[in-house]
Amino acid sequence: MNVVYKEYQQLNLSLIGEEILNKWQEENTFEKSITLKNESPSFVFYEGPPSANGLPGIHHVISRTLKDLVCRYKTMQGFQVKRKGGWDTHGLPVELGVEKELGITKEDIGTGKKDKNGNEVTIEYYNQKCREAVMRYKDKWDDITHKMGYWVDLKNPYITFENNYIETLWWCLSELYKKGYLYESVSIQPYSPAAGTGLSSHELNQPGTYKDVKDTSVVAMFKAVENSKSQFLFDAANNNEVFFMAWTTTPWTLPSNLGLTVGSNIDYVLVKTFNPYTHLPINVVLAKALIYKYFKADGENGDFDNYNAETKIIPWKILVEFKGKQIEECRYEQLLPFEANTPDRAGGDPFRVLLGDFVTTEDGTGIVHTAPAFGADDFKIGEKYGIGRLIMVDKEGKFVKGVGEFSGRYVKNYKDDPNYIDVNVDISVKLKKENRAFKVEKYEHNYPHCWRTDKPIIYYPLDAWFIKTTAVKDRMIELNKTIN
């Protein structure tokens, strides 16, 4: 059979593309690639759905080209490839965009308040506006899908706000619940007080979310309690006060402190010296490898008798050396006691020295201030030792009532208040005055920010539901091996 090909005098890719698209459309090429293979084995494809509340970009063209390549390849291999399109219609960005357009906040919804257009912001009205916004650019998406030659079923897409989709998810959760795989617990998650939402690891790693910031850091001094575990420390200190030194770049977490974590095999020392702020004689515990971060070599075994506030080099002396495991279960006094953080409210047995494998001697003091409410490692070690949990900061990012002079104050400047006074500075000043701070300084480090609000995040305990995948791990692996 003689085949006649059209001759092109010059290369016009746009024209060629348009002709091919028209030919596919006239001959229903995409549809036939499916219907002609009704007897063939199926290759299942559901598009990871884009959200039509924003315009498509070149990165969408690239990712969809890769998807299309796989589907065309599987079709050429003899599979029937039904390509179901979809629309992601859930998410905080949609809500925040609508609230900005209407001039409202979430607190206004269902309260009888009106938006800037004079419409009462009922729940139904708000939902409808979100549904309109989330599909606002669907025509633009359909157009670029067609122009780039991406074969996908747009006539019967799955849409995540439709009840048939939502109820499918509820059915899945119901089945998991019936099988005993669904349970509620607490998860320490990155949380944005400014946006009022938790963040996924993907969101936390968006470009530009980590910024170099200068925060007030403090080396706090936790006063040891004399007991059988700590007796050797007090003996070495001639029964004078003994303090455990712990460093933190988040002084606002100190009212929630419930433990101090050390490394089992790390070498620690008890050092006799003076507090550089109060000039009182003290005995402090820290990692041996970090001594020279806080004490000058010229001060070792210096003149203790003639020390005064004017002395430039503070004298110090090692009294005893020991491993971290030797001070496990030593107890100490609460650093910042207030009405709201009494030990009984912690729900455990707090203010103990714990052992943790995450402790290092790369920075700090080798002793980690442990607040189970505000750190993943802290939470795990807190659960292991049963020290409880204290949440002294609310979801708006400010101290709860009953935290003394810090009550109601934001831990970061979340409201862009030009008169904001850093509460971390005030906490550090309080500790200095009370002989509970050994060193306070600005510390520059890389800190994560919310990609929506550009405000710092905090790690916060959020109630969450979990699926007990470990219960069926072996069966899942077994089944995965049967899937091509």
DSSP-assigned states of every residue in 269-284: EEEEEE-TTT--EEEE
The verdict on 114 and 84 lying in the same domain is no
Question: Which residue range forms the structural domain that includes residue 239?
Answer: 213-442
Higher pLDDT among residues 46 and 91, named by residue: 46
Number of domains in the chain: 3
> Has residue 431 got a pLDDT over 80?
yes
> Has residue 206 got a pLDDT over 90?
no
Residue 185 lies in a domain: no
Residue 37 lies in a domain: yes
Q: In the prediction, which pLDDT does 210 show?
A: 95
Q: How far apart are CA 94 and CA 130, in angstroms?
A: 6
The verdict on 273 and 298 lying in the same domain is yes
Residue 420 lies in a domain: yes
Q: How far apart are CA 6 and CA 15, in angstroms?
A: 13
Percent of the chain residues topping a pLDDT of 70: 100
The verdict on 341 and 241 lying in the same domain is yes
Largest CA distance in the chain: 110
Sheet holding 182-192, edge to edge: 197-198, 182-192, 458-467
Residue 459 lies in a domain: no
- Mean pLDDT (whole number) for 121-132: 94
Say which residues have a Cβ less than 8 Å from residue 308's Cβ, sequence separation at least 6: 279
> Has residue 133 got a pLDDT over 70?
yes
The verdict on 97 and 151 lying in the same domain is no
Higher pLDDT among residues 219 and 52, named by residue: 219
The verdict on 28 and 95 lying in the same domain is no
Residue 473 lies in a domain: no
Bridge partners, residue 300, by sequence: 316
Percent of the chain residues topping a pLDDT of 90: 86
Query: Mean pLDDT, the chain, as a whole number?
Result: 94
The verdict on 257 and 377 lying in the same domain is yes
Q: How far apart are CA 215 and CA 445, in angstroms?
A: 8
The verdict on 303 and 361 lying in the same domain is yes
- Give residue 360's identity as a one-letter amino acid code: T
> Has residue 455 got a pLDDT over 80?
yes
pLDDT confidence of 456, banded at 50, 70, 90? very high
Q: Name the CA dihedral angle for 421, 422, 425, 431, rounded to a multiple of 10 degrees.
A: 90
Residue 182 lies in a domain: no
Q: In the prediction, which pLDDT does 54 show?
A: 85
The verdict on 332 and 395 lying in the same domain is yes
Q: In the prediction, which pLDDT does 1 show?
A: 64
> Has residue 34 got a pLDDT over 90?
yes
Q: How far apart are CA 244 and CA 332, in angstroms?
A: 8
The verdict on 152 and 270 lying in the same domain is no
110-116: which pairs have CB atoms within 8 A and are 24 or more residues apart? none
> Has residue 299 got a pLDDT over 90?
yes
Higher pLDDT among residues 2 and 270, named by residue: 270
Residue 447 lies in a domain: no
Q: How far apart are CA 65 and CA 79, in angstroms?
A: 19
Q: In the prediction, which pLDDT does 250 show?
A: 96
The verdict on 243 and 155 lying in the same domain is no
The domain that holds 228 is classified in CATH as: 3.90.740.10
Q: Model pTM?
A: 0.76
Of the ranges 56-60, 419-423, 430-434, the best mean pLDDT one? 430-434
The verdict on 19 and 105 lying in the same domain is no
> Has residue 91 got a pLDDT over 80?
no
Residue 272 lies in a domain: yes
Q: Quick one: tokens of 434?
A: 């009370």
Point out the least confidently predicted range of 285-294, 324-333, 433-442, 463-472. 463-472
> Has residue 79 got a pLDDT over 70?
yes
The verdict on 309 and 406 lying in the same domain is yes
